[in-house]
Amino acid sequence: MIAEILATGDEIRTGALVDSNSAYLAERLDSQGVEVTRHHSVGDAPAALRTVIDEISRRADIALVTGGLGPTVDDRSAEAAAAAAGVGMALDHKALKQIEDFFKERGRPFSLTNRKQAMIPAGADCLYNPVGTAPGFDITIQRCRFFFMPGVPYEMKHMFNRQVLPRIEEMQGDERQFNLLKTISTFGLPESLVGEKVAAVGDQFPGITLGLRAKFPEIQVKLYLQTRDDQAGCKMLESAADWVVRQIGRPVFSDDGHSMAETVGNLLISRRETLAVAESCTGGLVGNWLTNSAGSSSFFLLSAVTYHNQAKVKVLGVQEQTLIDHGAVHESVACQMAEGARRVADSTYGLSITGIAGPDGGTPEKPVGTVCIALVGPNGITARRFHFSFGRRLMNKRIFAMAALDMLRRELVAPIKKTDVQQEKNGNR
Amino acid sequence: MIAEILATGDEIRTGALVDSNSAYLAERLDSQGVEVTRHHSVGDAPAALRTVIDEISRRADIALVTGGLGPTVDDRSAEAAAAAAGVGMALDHKALKQIEDFFKERGRPFSLTNRKQAMIPAGADCLYNPVGTAPGFDITIQRCRFFFMPGVPYEMKHMFNRQVLPRIEEMQGDERQFNLLKTISTFGLPESLVGEKVAAVGDQFPGITLGLRAKFPEIQVKLYLQTRDDQAGCKMLESAADWVVRQIGRPVFSDDGHSMAETVGNLLISRRETLAVAESCTGGLVGNWLTNSAGSSSFFLLSAVTYHNQAKVKVLGVQEQTLIDHGAVHESVACQMAEGARRVADSTYGLSITGIAGPDGGTPEKPVGTVCIALVGPNGITARRFHFSFGRRLMNKRIFAMAALDMLRRELVAPIKKTDVQQEKNGNR
């Protein structure tokens, strides 16, 4: 079975919006063993919509269409589908009721234009939308089964996973294949070196193919396997993943899709330990990452974003003389920040970051990209200095925050007694 | 003149990578007055590439193609173009020299596979690549002029702006048009109400068309104008934007593309005032946003992310009794947090956020989505309570942070003497 994906709307056609729906759907279909051959985008003009629906209907078995189901006059997907199928439009009473209820529950006025959303091509099977106002529909045109879904990513994903995917699985029947994927996330090694370490995975585990992906500042190793036997395939993939993890070693921080912040959070939760952070140049990014997951309140107590030096002194107890002697970006300042955060919050660990994100503020001795990170905990205190040469401010903030979380992760995975202040260049470890 | 855009590569086809190149190119062409009618993506299979190039060549005047020019066997765009044009491949000696120099300068070994990149369709005009190894080319197939560019966004943009755009302008000649766009960003009104307020813009300013875009949690008003007279068009668009700003009033926070955090930062810088933040449920997001721009150190002194109640007490001086009496999410706690941050950092303003981002922690009286925000400054102190009903944790964090920054923005634009503690439901204002 082959599938094509169509994203509609003038915002996508004119580039006002980056279409992320198509990549999401392609990845979901691919993992389901459905081959995606083409993606398309057209605007809201009915003729253009009609033409592309027509083309797809003669070529593909499955078409996933997003967008154009809203209440306004610009939303023409349903009409275009009806025209391509040679049918009229019909009101779906259950969909209308759901839209009315949706507005009632939220105390918002129901306008007549919203009624338009309950009109779908005659004979199409309605895909109800419990999380928004635009229902989708399932209609066969020529040789192809079309699934029309809303363009809002959250609503689209909900509808795809609960309603469209089961229908596709039913279409697949015994033919069903699985494209299995396992992602191993690493931090701290360059892509080329990660590639060398795992290049032989296909020889060790025949049938498994390898992909590397730089998702700054992580390097991800992706293992793919196409199989009809879901269970045996999963087992083999797990063995291959174990082999990859052994090859790469400690730079692997996750083999289950968890981010660095989630990994650190889960380690702290399982150890029933707590964390206080002292940030400077990262501006709160570490705290923001750590609190993106529910449950973070059980380990995350504080992040003192002491951007100004006086805040470092008053909130964290950094000594003025240390700042005068060494400037804010120095191992001894980082140590005092980490200790201060731990003391104030009474946490198991204190983690600090002070650096130069740029574009200004660099010196020959401490260029933009210099960062000092300190970690204090039951096993003592460690401070390290890194020089990252990515140049751009937002990239520096991200890699500083990742390097800090990674230092804590390595401590939690295998604590080592340390008292030294170490120096490190270029972020190699 | 009409244009189509083609993004190639199995990573895009299978959804491993979101294609942002096509949106970039569409926006650039659109602003140049070239109508983009369709986008396509296909994988690396030569037959699929050849088919789509063939289709485009019969329909469009201009085609922009990205990807598939690399050194590996997967990179088949040049061969597919040659096949579609009915020509062979030829070595471009100048391109080869540039690739060799690129490797030499970086001290990297030049491999024979890189030589492949200097092979382009015979008769095509080479587009040299000073910032990478893959040259592009310019070739006419059927009625359409194709520009093949690398897939790496940085290299693609460099090549498009320096080499492709001047060629397109030359093609346009006297026909050249401009699609002008002005974006007005608002926060605090629902999309439908913003739409009603500005619906008449096309009557007031003939030729201007209106678009609304929900970029959570902002609502953007977009004004489009197609013109041959760049200067007169810009003037008219500015007048229309002024009219829109007057219609909407204070919910407009930017008419120049600046984010809420940038707007607040610029206001503070121009007033030579400083800010300290006290965050709880937003976890550092406000500090992170404010420090994404260079120069934030001139106004941003501190964000105390006091996630745990004890941190609120120790860092900000919140009274334990207040926490016991009212819980952490309350106007009086918010006031003490804002005052504490301002006192510790000795800043002009103190801004605090304490709320329930979810999914857990809600109560009937204070459901998930409840947030208390306080602002203290030279004109006194204000605290407000909002209930946002978006449900999801990350959306709540974003809208809480936006609401807090917006409260400060309104104070900076037009300070009002306040001493009351106000209550507000549903985020309407």
Q: Does B107 touch chain A (CB under 8 A)?
A: no
Res A105 pLDDT > 90: no
**Which of A59, A66, A48, A38 minimizes the C-alpha distance to A148?**
A66
Residues A77-105: what's their mean pLDDT?
93
Res A41 pLDDT > 80: yes
Q: Which residues of B touch A42 (CB under 8 A)?
A: 37-39
Whole-angstrom Cα distance, residue A84 to residue A57?
9
Q: Which residue has the higher pLDDT, B71 or A2?
A: A2
Confidence of residue B108 (pLDDT cuts 50, 70, 90): confident
Q: What is the pLDDT of residue B415?
A: 65
Whole-angstrom Cα distance, residue B387 to residue B391?
11
Q: Does A103 touch chain B (CB under 8 A)?
A: no
Res A419 pLDDT > 70: no
Is A311 in contact with B344 (Cβ distance < 8 A)?
A: yes
Q: Does A279 touch chain B (CB under 8 A)?
A: yes
Residues A300-328: what's their mean pLDDT?
98
Whole-angstrom Cα distance, residue A290 to residue B55?
49
In the β-sheet with A218-227, what is the strand arrangement from edge to edge?
Answer: A209-215, A218-227, A178-186, A252-254
Task: Return the residue in B291, B309, B329 with the most chain A beta carbons within 10 A, the one to mutate for interface testing.
Answer: B291
What CA–CA distances, in Å, run from A370 to A320, A386, A395, B245, B427? 21, 6, 13, 43, 42
Q: Which residues of A touch B426 (CB under 8 A)?
A: 107
Confidence of residue A193 (pLDDT cuts 50, 70, 90): confident
* d(CA A262, nearest CA chain B) in Å: 14
Q: What is the pLDDT of residue A423?
A: 42
Residue of B nearest to A47 (CA): B37
Q: Which residue has the higher pLDDT, B424 or B347?
A: B347
Residues A52-60: what's their mean pLDDT?
97
Q: What is the pLDDT of residue B422?
A: 45
Residue the block writes with tokens 């009794």: B321
CB B164 within 8 A of CB B64: yes
Confidence of residue A178 (pLDDT cuts 50, 70, 90): confident
The answer to whether the Cα torsion of A107, A108, A111, A117 is positive or negative is: negative
Specify burial of residue A173 (Cβ count, 10 A radius: 0-12, 13-18, 19+).
Answer: exposed
Residue-wise pLDDT for B328-347, tens only, equals 999 999 999 999 999 999 99
Q: What is the pLDDT of residue A133?
A: 85
- Provide ipTM, 2 decimals: 0.82
Q: Does B39 touch chain A (CB under 8 A)?
A: yes
**Selection from B170-179, B311-320, B412-421 with the highest mean pLDDT:** B311-320
Q: What is the pLDDT of residue B192?
A: 82
Q: Does A19 touch chain B (CB under 8 A)?
A: yes
Residue-wise pLDDT for B215-232, tens only, equals 889 999 999 998 989 899
Out of A222, A294, A310, whose CB is closest to B360? A294
Res B111 pLDDT > 90: no
Find the length of chain A. Answer: 429
Say which DSSP state A124 is in.
P
Task: Return the residue in B49, B303, B348 with the most chain A beta carbons within 10 A, the one to mutate for interface testing.
Answer: B303
Query: A-B interface: how many C-beta pairs under 8 angstroms?
Result: 251
The gap between the terminal CA atoms of chain A, to the nearest Å, is 47
Out of A295, A302, A394, whose CB is closest to B315? A302
Res A233 pLDDT > 60: yes
In chain A, which among 41-70 make CB contacts under 8 A with chain B? 41-43, 48, 52
* d(CA A180, nearest CA chain B) in Å: 13
* d(CA B13, nearest CA chain A) in Å: 7
Q: Which residues of A touch B36 (CB under 8 A)?
A: 13-15
Give chain B's domains with CATH numbers.
2-175 (3.40.980.10), 178-254 (3.30.70.2860), 260-413 (3.90.950.20)
Residues B262-288: what's their mean pLDDT?
98
Out of A23, A311, A397, whose CB is closest to B301? A311
Confidence of residue B39 (pLDDT cuts 50, 70, 90): very high
**What are the start-end ranges of the H helices in B327-381?**
331-345
Q: Which residue has the higher pLDDT, A419 or A224?
A: A224
**pTM of the entire structure?**
0.83
Res B418 pLDDT > 70: no
Q: Does B98 touch chain A (CB under 8 A)?
A: no
Residues B112-121: what's their mean pLDDT?
87
Res A225 pLDDT > 70: yes
Q: Does B290 touch chain A (CB under 8 A)?
A: yes
Q: Does A33 touch chain B (CB under 8 A)?
A: no
Q: What is the pLDDT of residue A297?
A: 96
Residue of A nearest to B283 (CA): A288
Confidence of residue A415 (pLDDT cuts 50, 70, 90): low
**What are the start-end ranges of the H helices in A217-271?**
230-248, 260-271
Is B307 in contact with A294 (Cβ distance < 8 A)?
A: no
Is A15 in contact with B38 (Cβ distance < 8 A)?
A: no
Is A297 in contact with B287 (Cβ distance < 8 A)?
A: no
Is B37 in contact with A30 (Cβ distance < 8 A)?
A: no
Q: What is the pLDDT of residue B428?
A: 36
Q: Chain centroid to CA A367: how far? A: 31
